[in-house]
Amino acid sequence: MKSNAVIAIHGGAGTILRASMAPEVETRYLDALNRILAAGQRILADGGSALDAVEEAVRLLEDCPLFNAGHGAVFTSAGTHELDASIMDGRTLEAGAVCCVKRVRNPVLAARRVLEKSEHVLFTGEGAEAFAAAQGLEFVDPAYFHTDARYRQWQLARGEARAMLDHDGATLEAKAAANASADSLPHEPIDPNRKFGTVGAVALDAHGHLAAATSTGGITNKQVGRVGDAPLIGAGCYADDATCAVSTTGSGEMFMRMVAAYDVAAQMKYRGVSLSEASTNVVMEQLPRIDGRGGLIAVDAQGNVVLPFNTEGMYRGYARVGEAPVASIYD
């Protein structure tokens, strides 16, 4: 019997730079998405849990400097890094999250430990780091999160005297390209100055259980202590075996106000609509009412996968057990 087990991931949404995008850079992003999808797919193929699959996928996304989470996270207004992550088990409705951590290498691992080892759901700042240390998780010097490309984006944001949603600023891409060095990506498929940078994963395992996880470095030049939707259960992450698993990426404050991830599940539960209809309603109708931009990935208990977004593109992909992974960037 064919398995419905499937994993989907995202690495941020935003404006596409088709005119100046270098093919080799597009390939670099697609290769990263496919590699990470394959890792999650292997866990599901071996009978592993959806929770293990999303944790591993997000851990790998955090370790990849192409995306705004972990290594490659954006800078705060103080020139520091503050990282957020969450994870939820659709089987039990248990969840864990951390926010404003500065030295935990992989925040998603800390979120998983909160889910499993604590009676609480969310830890912040020094308390989150103390909990992670007590769990034996790996700590790094804050310099680990630095990349030259993110540093330049921060310098541009400071010049504009405002925060940028993983790097919102229509006129800054040319400046970034002019200042770029060899290790930067001035021709990223999605404009680094007009991109919402969050990563996430959702999965359905062979046992019929769902899970979701989300992680982010936040927004460039954000005020110290700002927290977006990524670590908030119901806003940036949600999973319930009875309905679906969701991970979001976009203008965090708007996703928080709409409780966007939970709204998808709630519409399925209370309106009786499909995953596709609920997700489309949230992304294409509800969020735009308050200028909410971005997208989400979701999977339901039957293995249906949706990846809607209201921007020009979103780093995304999915992989069903027994089939080749599928990764995309453009609309």
Q: Which residues are part of the catalytic machinery?
A: 198
Q: What is the rounded distance in angstroms from the CA atom of residue 81 to the CA atom of residue 132? A: 17
What lies within 8 Å, CB to CB, of 29 at 6+ separation is 11, 66, 188, 189, 315, 329
- Select from 241, 212, 237 the least CA-distant residue to 301: 241
On whether 250 is known to bind a ligand per the annotation, the reply is: yes
CB atoms under 10 Å from CB of 2, counted, come to 9
CB of 84 closer than 8 Å to CB of 226? no
- Select from 211, 245, 185 the least CA-distant residue to 28: 185
CB of 214 closer than 8 Å to CB of 237? yes
Residue type, position 172, single letter:
L
Q: What is the rounded distance in angstroms from the CA atom of residue 212 to the CA atom of residue 7? A: 10
On whether 317 is known to bind a ligand per the annotation, the reply is: no
On whether 181 is known to bind a ligand per the annotation, the reply is: no
CB of 180 closer than 8 Å to CB of 206? no
The maximal CA–CA distance of the chain, rounded, in angstroms, is: 58
On whether 316 is known to bind a ligand per the annotation, the reply is: no
On whether 249 is known to bind a ligand per the annotation, the reply is: yes
CA angle 67, 221, 133 (to 5 degrees): 65
On whether 147 is known to bind a ligand per the annotation, the reply is: no
On whether 200 is known to bind a ligand per the annotation, the reply is: no
Q: What is the rounded distance in angstroms from the CA atom of residue 236 to the CA atom of residue 80? A: 23
Q: What is the rounded distance in angstroms from the CA atom of residue 79 to the CA atom of residue 106? A: 20
**φ/ψ of residue 217, rounded to 5:** -95, 0
On whether 227 is known to bind a ligand per the annotation, the reply is: yes
Residues placed in the known binding site: 226-229, 249-252
